[in-house]
A = this chain, B = another copy of it.
């Protein structure tokens, strides 16, 4: 879901960096002592250089910098054990999605299939979701949405065979746009969460809700930043998945109904083409009005990512 590119690295902007003391940034980086870990030196050195280059490139003013300081301080002040505003700010500038790409971009030989795309974890995954039996429903509390039968097969990217005993972990917001632990008055714990194991041929099926678009909380720094950028706070409707098996790379991802109005402007940049899905009407099942088929390809754990080359 990429937009058109523009010439953000115009030479005129870059050149302005050279009007200031060229020795300053190396002096800051070189003050790191001999006991700095090599990876720390690499990461912090690059971060400091990019922050300095940014400040010189835009001739950052004292007022703008102080606005940034107040903004940084405000992020932690509103964060709680169930509200991670720092992560949310990273999400709306695309950083979580980029880190996800870096971690999961595999070295694929030309002509080969790709595994199912990964997408960001987000702040609402729970390590405490219960295992449920195939065919059970994760819909445990009242809602105003539409129930769907979700089914599919999890296969080996290389052999194309089904993977038995893969863990299919799914979580989603309810029809009011809230997850269980944001909404304890209306939802029991682990409503719309569950883990399932694929059968001997790699198949799974369960009942879910058709997902609903929702807004990020805008009463904190994320709202301030979105307002500055003249952007809406909505995520397209989505279902979270995390598929794992000891012999395969875990895929954390999200699925998006094709008809969602926010598909091309997801405020956290998580949409990828192969994650867009079609819910279809379902007849003859008293438990569901809709059906979603989604098959998942896992890469063997031995495959290399680009970042490990």
Residues of A within 8 A of B (CB): 1-6, 8-9, 13, 19-37, 40, 42-62, 64-66, 69-70, 72-79, 84-87, 89-90, 93-103, 105, 228-231, 265, 269, 306-307
Besides A44-B229, A52-B94, A73-B75, 19 other CB < 8 A contacts? A2-B26, A3-B27, A5-B26, A8-B46, A20-B102, A20-B105, A25-B98, A27-B269, A32-B229, A35-B230, A42-B58, A55-B95, A60-B99, A61-B307, A65-B90, A66-B87, A69-B84, A69-B87, A73-B84
Complex partner residue of A57 from B46, B70, B78, B89, CB under 8 angstroms: B46
| 7 shortest interchain CB distances as A-B pairs | A76-B76, A33-B230, A2-B23, A5-B26, A59-B307, A28-B94, A3-B27
Complex partner residue of A95 from B9, B22, B52, B76, CB under 8 angstroms: B52
Q: Is the CB of B101 within 8 A of A20?
A: yes
This chain: copies in complex: 2
Complex partner residue of A229 from B20, B33, B55, B60, CB under 8 angstroms: B33
Q: Is the CB of A101 within 8 A of B21?
A: yes
- Give, as a whole number of angstroms, the nearest-CB distance from A106 to chain B: 12
Chain A, interface SS category: helix
- Give, as a whole number of angstroms, the nearest-CB distance from A84 to chain B: 7
Specify the chain B residue showing the minimal Cβ separation from A13.
B46
Q: Given A19-B105, A55-B98, decide whether A231 and B46 contact each other with a Cβ distance below 8 A.
A: no
- Give, as a whole number of angstroms, the nearest-CB distance from A11 to chain B: 14
Q: Is the CB of B2 within 8 A of A24?
A: yes
Complex partner residue of A79 from B54, B66, B77, CB under 8 angstroms: B77
Q: Is the CB of A55 within 8 A of B2?
A: no
Complex partner residue of A28 from B19, B58, B84, B269, CB under 8 angstroms: B269
Q: Is the CB of B228 within 8 A of A8?
A: no
Q: Is the CB of A65 within 8 A of B2?
A: no
- Give, as a whole number of angstroms, the nearest-CB distance from A94 to chain B: 4
Which of chain B's residues have a CB closer than 8 A to the CB of A43? Answer: 58, 60, 64
- Give, as a whole number of angstroms, the nearest-CB distance from A63 to chain B: 9
- Give, as a whole number of angstroms, the nearest-CB distance from A20 to chain B: 6
Which of chain B's residues have a CB closer than 8 A to the CB of A51? Answer: 50, 93, 95
